[in-house]
Structure 1
Amino acid sequence: MTTPVQATPPGWSHARAAWTMVAVTLMWSIAGVVTRQLTGAQGFEVTFWRSFSTALALLVILPAWQGPRWFRAVHWTNKALLLSGVCWALMFTAFMLALTLTSVGNVLVTMAVGPLLTALLARLAIGHRLPVRTGWAVAVAGAGIAYMFVRQFNAEGALAGMLVALGVPIGGAINWTIVQRSQAHGERVDMVPAVLVGALISTLATLPLALPFAATPADLGWLALLGSVQLAIPCTLCVLCARVLKAPEVSLLALLEVIFGILWAWLGAGETPGNEVLIGGFLVVGALVVNELLGWRSRQAAPRIQTLEPNIGD
């Protein structure tokens, strides 16, 4: 997630931000197991109620967090904010639909390619240089996803679910690129209001497709939990964490969602991950971890090289 440059939250140490980010991934990871508890709501209705609950939760969180005048402080006419909201709406819709079509493991591993797709799009759209290590990571992760696709080609719903799940990392990559271009031109995008815009767009777009409603009272409770605890609250906390942690740290900690999510679905819904998920997931997550660690090491070494250069001729 890309956040506007703001002051570090008072009293937030690095350790506190890191542990908060772990808690964020735990909250994100409950989506699959909670969805498996639904008995009446299906398809677009699941997305509708989750997005509606997210919007309600953020309408409570934003004034509590940023003050009663938060609405006036947001530049609602900013095109980047609106486009970011459209991307969030795509991500919300694709994620929940994918969970109704295929296993939690398939969805989470497919989503995990997001940082690599973002790097590719940034190279094409705004000229960011793509390091060799990232190119190799894209190739390895792509092989992992391809393996999952091929192995489950004839599995009912699996292929469709993974194709729909690709909408999440694609939407995320476009979202990041939009925000970066906007900030490069001096326009900051506040990501939490952008999430609110996305929730509202998703709610309105899926309402006609969700009718007639079939959700039970228990379903509504589960979906309200997703909208608030699984999405609105962790998204807000992630913004705070990103002001303290470095981008590679956030990316690496965010990968815990894949592990936690598959574990919750296994323990809470009996979804034992298949070999194709384990092998494909190992390739995808492994490629991401190695890429981030090498990038981190490179960035850490750069200042030392620059410091030593003036002394080479002494």
Structure 2
Amino acid sequence: MTHGRAVTLMIVVTLLWSIAGVVTRQLDAARSFEVTFWRSLFNALALAVALSAMRGAALWRGLLRAPWPVWVSGLCWAVMFTAFMVAITLTTVANVLVTMAIGPLITALFARLFLHHRLPARTWAAIAVGGLGIAWMFGQEAAGAGMSLAGTLAAFAVPLAAAANWTVLQHTGRGSGDPDEPALQDMLPAVLIGALISAAVTLPFAWPLQASGHDLGLLWMLGAVQLAIPCLLVVRLTRELPAPEIALLGLLEVLFGVTWAWLGAGEQPGANTLTGGALVLGALVVNEALALRRRR
């Protein structure tokens, strides 16, 4: 896979991830932990079908005997699936997004510490500018609404788990460069493990379930389309893109999410949002252009 194709697929991943907010706003009765439970459950069902088709009965025979990186990655996925919705119930969306904007920096630090990657100055600069852009987009709104320490800590778990996950996936999946490398294949069930853990943990808090039939249809789409498909894709992309670049491109999820809310929920972005979005897009474009020029 070429670098350009990998970047394009990662943009598709962020586009799919970004629909969560606008779809959630269309729900009738499901709220908070129930949304997380149904989304994780449908995610697990979709992954079970997809991975069974890919692996057959070997998937289930080898699940409990999976090596430690699979379980570590699974726990990271579970935290990522769950912590975002927990944070939303404790603090403002703006606060959550500002906190999550430090993800690329944490990922870069993890890659440097654990994978001994040397990051070019352009990547560090792009991370800094991208984080500044996200903070600019939502900082004023967050300051006006007030901060919650518990919500901030819950939101911080998302980029922390994501950074650990990208580091583990890249460590196990890029070793030989062989498309049929067993290490890569062994990491795919980690997404299923994470979805199952997330559904099991949130079920007690989601009871009694109140989702309508309309809600269940939307939540099925979130589980299958917004989580299962892009999460499997990003596992594959960890073999092609450095972990910090994946995290940096992941900032596009915020921009896409704002656009979906504008088009689908009538939430028109203000001047701060447009300015911050321009900073993020500019950082991504410059970083990718310099990387392409260097490879050529």
Shorter-chain TM-score bucket reads: 0.7 to 0.9
Amino acid at match of 1:46: V
Shift of 1:98: 4.7
Shift of 1:221: 1.8
Shift of 1:211: 2.0
Between 268-277 and 176-185, the greater mean CA deviation after superposition: 176-185
Aligned to 2:46: 57
Amino acid at match of 2:124: G
Q: Which of 274, 283, 287 does residue 291 from structure 1 map onto? A: 287
Matched, 1:29 2:18: yes
Between 159-168 and 130-139, the greater mean CA deviation after superposition: 159-168
8 A Cα contact 2:18 2:257, kept in partner: yes
> What is the TM-score when the length of structure 2 is the normalising length?
0.78
Matched, 1:227 2:223: yes
1:57/1:233 Cα in 2 relative to 1: closer, same or farther (>3 Å)? same
8 A Cα contact 2:47 2:192, kept in partner: yes
Shift of 1:179: 3.0
Aligned to 2:36: 47
Correspondences of 1:1-314 after superposition (within 5 Å): 23-72=12-61, 76-98=65-87, 102-103=92-93, 111=100, 113-147=102-136, 148-155=138-145, 164-182=154-172, 188-189=183-184, 190-239=186-235, 256-298=252-294, 300-301=295-296
* TM-superposition CA deviations, 1:18-70 (whole Å, max 9, x none): 77665544432221111111222222221111111111111111111233433
Between 232-241 and 188-197, the greater mean CA deviation after superposition: 232-241
1:232/1:146 Cα in 2 relative to 1: closer, same or farther (>3 Å)? closer
Amino acid at match of 1:60: V
1:96/1:283 Cα in 2 relative to 1: closer, same or farther (>3 Å)? same
8 A Cα contact 2:97 2:134, kept in partner: no
8 A Cα contact 1:35 1:99, kept in partner: no
Shift of 1:268: 1.0
1:124/1:242 Cα in 2 relative to 1: closer, same or farther (>3 Å)? closer
> What is the TM-score when the length of structure 1 is the normalising length?
0.74
Shift of 1:150: 4.9
SS in 2 for 1:127: coil
* TM-superposition CA deviations, 1:229-281 (whole Å, max 9, x none): 111123334455667x6559977875654443222211111222233333333
* TM-superposition CA deviations, 1:188-216 (whole Å, max 9, x none): 25342111011011111112222222322
Amino acid at match of 1:199: A
8 A Cα contact 1:29 1:260, kept in partner: yes
Matched-pair identity in %: 55
1:163/1:292 Cα in 2 relative to 1: closer, same or farther (>3 Å)? farther
5+ long unaligned stretches in structure 1: 1-7, 302-314
Between 265-274 and 285-294, the greater mean CA deviation after superposition: 285-294
**Cα distance in 2 for residues equivalent to 1:126 and 1:246:** 14
The number of aligned residues is: 287
Bigger Cα Rg: 1
